[in-house]
Amino acid sequence: MSDTSGLTAEEHRSQIRKAATASVVGTAIEWYDFFLYGTAAATVFAQVFFPKSSPYAGTLSAFATYAVGFAARPIGAAIFGHWGDRIGRKATLIVTLVMMGVSSALIGLLPGTAAIGVWAPILLVALRILQGIAVGGEWSGSVLLSMEWGDQRRRGLMASWAQVGVPIGLILGTGMMSLLAAAAGDSFTDWGWRIPFLASLVLVGVGLWVRLRVLETPMFARALETRQIAKLPVVAVLKKHPKEVVLSALLRFSEQMPFYLYTTFVITYITAEDIGMSRTFAFLAVSCAAAVELFAIPYFGHLSDRVGRRRIYLIGAALLAVVAFPYYMLLNTGIAIVILLTIMVTQVQHSMEYGPQASLIAESFPTGLRYGGAGLGYQLASVVAGGPAPLIAVWLLHSFGWQAISIFMIIGAAIGFLATLALPDRSKIDISDEAAYTT
């Protein structure tokens, strides 16, 4: 455990900057890997790993393997939540970063079904599970590394830096895929898609260098000194704070579910024959939308420090219901500039929730149980909200039309809105005070 008690004021400020940087960079690399998979699932995996299926069945199969990674995320949250609340935030974040990079690189080396038969999709699923476990343990540790080091009056902004890593990862992932799709041409399906996955190892090296320079958070160090550490943190948080875990998962319905429709399913939707946009245009549109979030996420995180997390989050959830039908109506115009602007503007709605979400969830748990509690709440939503969303959208579109997807989004907005109303807003309390969580 690194001692932070003897740091000068300048050294402390330096650690805050390093912690924020480590949160952004490490999370960006983790989500680069995770989004690569989603982009590949939307474009090439049906042909590489499910070549004998019809286009509809192949797309369903590809998105099913995509959803498996989300199902594994609560497992990662439980495993790394235990150790993150036992030995610290920093050590677990090193392990998750390496695990994600290695599993992604192995996906880039994996032969297709034409070469090794049924073992190809089986191994693909196994590696996707490893990805899910890694990213499941990543989020809460990355949020806490920045939030617990930073000024407690600015927790919304500090926690949001980890969230900024998500659009950076999305830009890197879709950007690399876009470049390779343009450069490789017809060879993209054969080998071009593999290069971004192999590049993960280089990015992991960068992430490790950044994270190894950060000390453990002072807040967790004090929890260790005062013996506020549970033997089984995950069990303890489920016994003491089950309401907070459940509500943290449910409030994500209005954020996580539409996000994967906005960034993954939309690629399949606008490149289909009815609309006819190119794959390169789809990648570009999603990258531009992610660029919007680079500014919108920290802005709404900062705004939540001024007016409260819950108020901003509720407005964002309500806006999802408002845009649900216009979103697909505008995509259906088939006009490139209209589609581009639609995909970009909807990310503002998403940022209104995603910016304050990290602090809203993390503040719901005391220091000694925060890694596991926040991680479980955040990642449980992945099983029922984020992971299945593209798969459900493909089925709804095929069976009922785009209007059914809009109704699906409105249902998610309602669930998220009601759960947020039920979760106490702790944006103004002292989160280092254990007594604040017993009243």
Number of H helices and E strands in the chain, helices first, is: 20, 0
Between CA 231 and CA 320 the distance in angstroms is: 41
pLDDT, position 66? 72
Q: Report the share of the chain in percent with pLDDT over 70.
A: 98
DSSP letters of 220-241?
HHHHHHTT---SSHHHHHHHH-
pLDDT, position 1? 44
Query: Could you tell me how many residues make up the chain?
Result: 439
Around 182, how many Cα atoms within 13 Å sit in the side-chain half-sphere? Answer: 11
Q: Is the dihedral of CA 368, 370, 376, 377 positive or negative?
A: positive
Question: In b/e form, how buried is each residue of 66-84, taking b as 16+ CB within 10 angstroms?
Answer: bbbbbbbbbebbbbbbbbb
Between CA 401 and CA 272 the distance in angstroms is: 13
Between CA 403 and CA 374 the distance in angstroms is: 34
For residue 433, give the DSSP letter. -
pLDDT, position 3? 52
Tokens for 146, please give them.
């920045």
Q: Does domain 9-437 have CATH number 1.20.1250.20?
A: yes
Residues of the chain with pLDDT under 50: 1
pLDDT, position 4? 59
pLDDT, position 6? 67
Domains in the chain: boundaries:
9-437
Q: Would you say the pTM of this structure is higher than 0.95?
A: no
